[in-house]
Copies of this chain bind each other. A is one copy, B any other.
Amino acid sequence: MDEKDALKKEIIKRFGTPCVVIDLDVVEANIARAQQLCDTAALANRPHIKTHKSPILAHAQLSAGATGITCQKLGEAEVMADAGITDIIIATNLLGAAQSGQLAALQRRLPLKCCADSAFTLTAYASAAHAADRPLDVLIECDTGQKRAGVETPDAVLALATIIQQSQWLNFAGLLFYPPLDGWQETQIFLDEVRAGLSAMGLEIGIISTGGTPNLANLGQLDGATEHRAGTCIFNDRMMLAAGMASPDDCALHVFTSVASRGGEARGILDAGSKTLTSDAGGLEGFGLIREYPDARIHKFSEEHGFLDLSDCRQQPQVGDIVRVIPNHVCVVVNMVDQLVAVRGNDIIEVIPVAARGKLV
């Protein structure tokens, strides 16, 4: 018998399927574990709320010891500020929000910390800070190998720091890193060179931030780092299983989904498709781990259906069965829904709004 049968029946009766469910016991254990890893490395913990987009869960992270939060969008920061959270880094070039007036409006309410990797962004930030009549703290985003955003040389950091130093509307607040898993030594070399240059300019680095859930395994390896921002670890997902950062029991979020159709011996269809589980494969083969049928493969999506290859399954699910899926990438799944159903074990506790969902700007 499936120990989750009673919960599944209650979920479909109250919410239908698909339904995105988090277990608060696992959430709390995950929050505590990330906090302890930061504490042990003597780093401030600044969780990235892009994963849960929920003020309730952000407050749980702060209560467990986090210093502040990281957002990816100005709109996310607005929602968190509305919930009384005041220590916020927004970890991207905010070109849209700077030009639409939203950055100025929020900066007028509370002092934000924003990130930049270009002179263009700094100019937009200075205008927004001027409009807000409050200087803006800026971290320079540095790329030490990910080939994502961020300046790629210490000289480029110093050039931007000079612009910040010369602007009456910008304060130099530090450096934002996302070191590649095997790139912490290169990051140290980069940081040391930047530090020497900034020191010669008379600038102190306030915050030195590193990021990423897989990098929780590397905390302590960057001399001078002051804080870490990790998002996914609050829930974990199939990517974190593949990275060895979590076991299935550390996965707090499951998509409860019904087998809506079969079709021959080896086929099945879930009522969760690309509009629920998303097409984000995260570099893995297939989409999602079905807890009850780990040998079933979700190999394709239509918008509201997940297509199962059951050819490796000894036991096969039947139409009407409800299964629990750990998604490949949990952050994008949360972003699909307006609410998370929160349980403890087999008891439904509350419904948590994903209040900062769908913020484009």
Which residues 315-361 of A sit at the B interface, judged by CB distance below 8 A?
Answer: 318-320, 331-332, 335-338, 358, 360-361
Which of A147, A276, A358 has its CB near the most chain B CB atoms (within 10 A)? A358
Contact of A12 among B100, B149, B318 (CB under 8 A): B100
**With the chains together, A343 CA to B78 CA distance in Å?**
27
Known: A99-B13, A320-B95, A320-B120. A279 touches B276 (CB 8 A): no
In contact, B319 and A118 (Cβ under 8 angstroms): yes
Identify whether the interface residues of A are mostly helix, strand, loop, or mixed.
loop
Contact-size category for A: 35 or more
In contact, A360 and B335 (Cβ under 8 angstroms): no
Contact of A260 among B95, B269, B332 (CB under 8 A): B95
Known: A143-B263, A336-B358. A96 touches B320 (CB 8 A): no
**With the chains together, A18 CA to B307 CA distance in Å?**
31
Known: A95-B258, A258-B95, A261-B149. A100 touches B13 (CB 8 A): yes
**With the chains together, A20 CA to B358 CA distance in Å?**
12
| Interface: A67 (CB within 8 A) | no
| Interface: A50 (CB within 8 A) | yes
What is the 8 Å Cβ interface bit string for chain A, positions 251-281, against chain B (1 contact, 0 not)? 0000000101111100101010011101111
| A-B CB proximity, top 10 nearest | A16-B96, A16-B361, A16-B100, A17-B96, A279-B279, A149-B261, A120-B319, A95-B258, A279-B280, A93-B260
